[in-house]
Amino acid sequence: MVAANRPAQAGEAQITLFEIYSNYNKPIDVKSGCIELNYYESILDNSVRLSATITDTGFRTVKGTGKDSASVEKDDINLTVGEKVHVKLIDGNQFPLNFVDDKQFRIEEVRNIDESTNKMLYTIDLFSKESIDNMKSNLWPVAKFEGEIPVSTETILKDVLKTPKKITTDRGLNSYTFIGHAEKPFYIIPTLAKKTVPADIPNASGVLAGYLFYETYDGFNFRSIDKLFMQKPKKKYIFNNLIRCESGEKPDGYDGKILDFYFDSSLNLSNLGNTGAMVQSRNQEFNRMKNTYKENTFDSTSQYSNPDILGGIERPKIPVIQDSVTRNFNALMSDDGILPRGFTLSQQIPLSQKPNFKMDEILRQSAMRYNSLFAIKLSVAIAGDMSLRAGDVIFCDFPELSDKKNTLVSQKKSGNYMIVDICHRITKNGCYTRMNLVRDSIYRKPPKM
């Protein structure tokens, strides 16, 4: 193992446990046969995932105690799907990921099976146990929920789905009443995410909305997009041709080097226009109770008025469509009086003429915020670092395109980015971390560490 103060280097990550609890065999540790492992997290996925390619020659370690634990020749590992799997990983900085007990994986699929007379090669895809529990009808919510949406989300995860994992939520500003209708938790919660306004942000009502529901190694997250961008950068990285340093050393002022990067997309005019991000949108609504019709427009400029919730400094200037309405949101009817809070008539009648959900102040804003988040997309690779999580903000410095002798830091490309997807890849050639990053605005903010 490497010293704790050294950055991770190729070949220094280890798989210390890879134990499969087959439905037909005793628990078997196949870590010696694992030739490639990829661990994934994403703010767009309600489960952590792991994919491993394993070669089986018939010799393996069978779990036991004393003389019962040995490397012996056994029959083929008989796998179906749903089996429990325990995995332990550790990177070159001695940072561990232990997927055991409450964090156990389950087999989703066994694929790419290539078998000969003396060995078998196959790939297994793993996901979290809650992904299986989500399929069970006895764990689908049917009750009435009311109050802050993040509180309802936590209730569904803890009391209905019965997950023992840690749940991290950001407080919500608006209340919402709904009935579970025996729908799957992982369908209901993402639906609630786009109806939530973050609390503790000045002037958020009518301007900001949009949460993300996802799982990381630390547990489940129901987080506001804006609160995520308010985080201080977890780590700082720099592309390695800006400065010189010996292999294995950290650049001064940074946590590591970017080994390679590419910008997948800067901006797409068609996407911005079709989704309404960074432009104006119109909401049309008919109130059947009052027999009235109303429409109004919302300018996305207001979502860029608070610099604390932005990855960069300002939104890109797109004057050709910036002052135009490019998307309509239609509400065939308002929901005044539908599902008022309370459980008795005396509680519900005073609220019977109030709307349960304000589409023109929430749903439209969240749709625009989701799409502006992915305005600038970037992919980077670094030496394996398992302390990073999907949803973290990191700071990246890139070189300016210049013929100057002393290359400067690019003020346009550098700055804060949010991790959308992250993959830790372990092979015989080393351990590397690949991240897909996004940002909603341009220009480099000075890092706050």
**Domains of the chain and any CATH numbers:** 14-128 (2.40.10), 232-266+375-449 (2.40.30.150), 273-367 (no CATH)
For residue 189, the model assigns a pLDDT of 97
Per-residue tokens: 255: 């946590």
- Can you give the chain as a three-state secondary structure string? CCCCCCCCCCCCCEEEEEEEECCCCCCEECHHHEEEEEEEEECCCCCCEEEEEEEECCEEEECCCHHHCEEEECCCCCCCCCCEEEEEEECCCCCEEEECHHHCEEEEEEEEEEECCCCEEEEEEEEEHHHHHCCCHHHCCCCEECCEHHHHHHHHHHHHCCCCCCEEECCECCECCEECCCCCHHHHHHHHHCCCCECCCCCCCCCCCCEEEEEECCEEEEEEHHHHHCCCCCCEEEECCCCCCCCCCCCCCCCEEEEEEEEEECCCHHHHHHHCCCCEEEEEEEECCCCEEEEEEEEHHHHHCCHHHCCCCECCCCHHHHCCEEEEEEECCCCECCCCCCCCHHHHHHHCCCECCCHHHCHHHHHHHHHHHCCEEEEEEEECCCCCCCCCEEEEECECCCCCCCCCECCCCCEEEEEEEEEEEEECCEEEEEEEEEECCECCCCCCC
Give the residue-averaged pLDDT of 134-163: 95
Q: What is the model's pLDDT at position 96?
A: 94
The CA distance from 276 to 121, in Å, is 48
Mean pLDDT of all residues in 50-65: 73
pLDDT of residue 246: 46
What is the CB neighbour count within 10 angstroms for residue 228? 22
- Mean pLDDT to the nearest integer, 345-356: 74
pLDDT on residue 357: 78
Query: How many other C-beta atoms can be found within 10 angstroms of the C-beta atom of residue 289?
Result: 13
The tokens for 370 are: 């989701």
Q: What is the pLDDT of residue 5?
A: 44
| pLDDT value at residue 62 | 56
- Choose among 67, 66, 54: nearest CA to 22: 54
pLDDT of residue 395: 96
| Predicted confidence (pLDDT) per residue in 183-221, tens digit | 999 999 999 999 999 999 999 999 999 999 999 999 999
Residue 3 has pLDDT above 70, yes or no: no
The answer to whether residue 400 scores a pLDDT higher than 90 is no
> Could you read off the pLDDT of 20-42 as tens digits, one per residue?
998 877 888 889 899 999 999 99
Whether the per-residue pLDDT at 447 is higher than 80: the answer is no
Residue with tokens 């309802």: 152
Radius of gyration of the chain (CA): 25
Q: One-letter amino acid identity for 35?
A: I
Per-residue model confidence (pLDDT) at position 247 = 46
Question: pTM of the full predicted structure?
Answer: 0.88
Least confident range of 165-179, 256-270, 276-290: 276-290
Closest CA to 16 of 95, 134, 72: 95
